Amino acid sequence: MKAWLLKDFGLDNLELGEVPTPQPKSGELLVKVGAVSLNFRDKAIVDGIYEPHRVPKPLIPVSDAAGTVVSVGDGVTRFKIGDRVNSHLYSRWLDGAPGPHEPDYCFGSPLPGGLAEYMIIHEDSAVRAPDNMSDEEAATLPIAALTAWYSLVDFGQIEPGQTVLVQGTGGVSIFAVQIAAALGAKVIATSSSDDNLKTVKNLGAVAGINYRTTPNWEDEVLKLTDGKGVDLLLDVAGGSSINQSVAATKAAGRIAQIGFLTGQTAQVNLMPLIFRQTTIRGIAVAPRSSFDRMNVFLDTHKIRPVIDQVYPFEKAREAYEHLAKGAFGKVVITIA
Ligand SMILES: NC(=O)c1ccc[n+]([C@@H]2O[C@H](COP(=O)([O-])OP(=O)(O)OC[C@H]3O[C@@H](n4cnc5c(N)ncnc54)[C@H](OP(=O)(O)O)[C@@H]3O)[C@@H](O)[C@H]2O)c1
């Protein structure tokens, strides 16, 4: 089969090649990949800054895929040939609390990913792809939508009328705006672009703050929330902006620590954190059971993924470059 292979770190070392088509073992599905979507994680893996010690070489990259089952191993009962499925990043985290070794079983490193004609998914980890979405749309769900969903619902327990702050207009954040608005929350969005802030208001945000022209954006959040701060803040920026996130979150509020766009380490000012009694929770996507619940919600609320651009398989490197420049919503690569 044709597959993109990361032979060493750096986008120049991502090469189109041919490898044997994998055969499904007991309990596994062979999936003809229709489309994949890129996440910041995929770019960080190529750049060698995401758990580099876990990355096998060569690696078939990209975790998030949608496609059709074309053959099954012995004993498969959950799916049959012809079913459309999604990959699920934490392939062994199915329900409840995570185990200690979940990162060892993630697609797109260390397990082979979907940037190829075929991929293997264990039936327990596969999720039925929504009938009303194309493969390009469904491929956006496994990390970006599910992380937003888990942060807002499983962790955040957001109720109508509560306030949520969402940072930037990338993959996770756009889904977060759509899902939080559908939950009845008041969403404040930040972005480096006034144009993006206008568009994000059309998706359900009630207010927008330009974090570039308003570097002390947390003060603006306090003004918008009667001095209290938001109930829940989805932090994708990371780095030392965590202190701004604490200031922008209400007393006894919650921060979902999702990302590390500006840095993987932070110097946290403990006194404000203690006085505000903030809960900061590390988020690592979600179990598969949460994915199943999210798909019902997306269908009920008619939420459609926002795709910035779809690239053909041969232009995978251009897709990575697009993500690096910043995308509004998702960047997708079609395989067929
Ligand atoms: N822990 C998890 O489970 C999990 C899951 C998914 C993602 N993540 C992490 O979350 C982060 C976002 O992922 P993604 O895939 O959504 O990325 P993405 O699609 O590449 O989003 C990037 C966007 O983030 C915004 N941004 C950049 N710097 C910012 C800053 N300092 N403050 C606020 N916004 C900023 C920009 O939006 P504007 O152009 O509008 O400024 C940019 O376009 C990454 O670090 C990723 O690894 C973690």
Determine if ligand 1 sits within 6 Å of the CB of residue 172: yes
Distance CA 66, CA 88 (A): 10
- The CATH architecture that domain 145-282 belongs to is 3-Layer(aba) Sandwich (3.40)
Give nearest CA residue, ligand 1 atom 19.
170
Backbone phi, psi, residue 163, to 5°: -110, 145
CA–centroid distance, 12 to ligand 1, in Å, is 23
Give nearest CA residue, ligand 1 atom 21.
170
Determine if ligand 1 sits within 6 Å of the CB of residue 287: no
Give nearest CA residue, ligand 1 atom 2.
284
Q: How high is the pLDDT of residue 280?
A: 98
pTM of the model: 0.98
CA–centroid distance, 107 to ligand 1, in Å, is 20
Determine if ligand 1 sits within 6 Å of the CB of residue 264: no
Q: How high is the pLDDT of residue 336?
A: 77
pLDDT digits (tens), the chain, 336 positions:
999 999 999 999 999 999 999 999 999 999 999 999 999 999 999 999 999 999 999 999 999 999 999 999 999 999 999 999 999 999 999 999 999 999 999 999 999 999 999 999 999 999 999 999 999 999 999 999 999 999 999 999 999 999 999 999 999 999 999 999 999 999 999 999 999 999 999 999 999 999 999 999 999 999 999 999 999 999 999 998 999 999 999 999 999 999 999 999 999 999 999 999 999 999 999 999 999 999 999 999 999 999 999 999 999 999 999 999 999 999 999 997
Domains 2-140+305-334 and 145-282 belong to one CATH topology: no
Residue 89 neighbours by CB distance under 10 Å = 27
Secondary structure (H, E, C), the chain: CEEEEECCCCHHHEEEEECCCCCCCCCEEEEEEEEEEECHHHHHHHHCCCCHHHCCCCECCCCEEEEEEEEECCCCCCCCCCCEEECCCECCCCCCCCCCCHHHHEECCCECCCCECEEEEECCCCEECCCCCCHHHHCCHHHHHHHHHHHHHHHCCCCCCCEEEEECCCHHHHHHHHHHHHCCCEEEEEECCHHHHHHHHHCCEEEEEECCCCCCHHHHHHHHCCCCCEEEEEECCCHHHHHHHHHHEEEEEEEEECCCCCCCCCCCCHHHHHHHCCEEEECCCCCHHHHHHHHHHHHHCCCCCCEEEEEEHHHHHHHHHHHHHCCCCEEEEECC
List C-alpha distances in Å: 45 to 104, 107, 153, 168, 221: 14, 12, 28, 21, 33
Determine if ligand 1 sits within 6 Å of the CB of residue 262: yes
Structural domain boundaries of the chain? 2-140+305-334, 145-282
For residue 61 the two structure tokens come to 């990259």
* CATH code given to domain 2-140+305-334: 3.90.180.10
| Contact residues for 5 (Cβ-Cβ < 8 A; gap 6+) | 14, 15, 16, 17, 19, 58, 59, 60
Q: Please state whether the peptide bond connecting residue 58 to the residue before it is cis, i.e. omega within 30 degrees of 0.
A: yes
Cβ-based burial of 277 (10 A; exposed 0-12, middle 13-18, buried ≥19)? exposed
Distance CA 123, CA 317 (A): 30
Ligand 1 atom having least distance to the Cα of 40: 15
Q: How high is the pLDDT of residue 218?
A: 98
Cβ-based burial of 279 (10 A; exposed 0-12, middle 13-18, buried ≥19)? middle
Residue to mutate (ligand 1; options 36, 38, 40; most atoms within 8 A of CB): 40
Determine if ligand 1 sits within 6 Å of the CB of residue 147: yes
CA–centroid distance, 238 to ligand 1, in Å, is 9
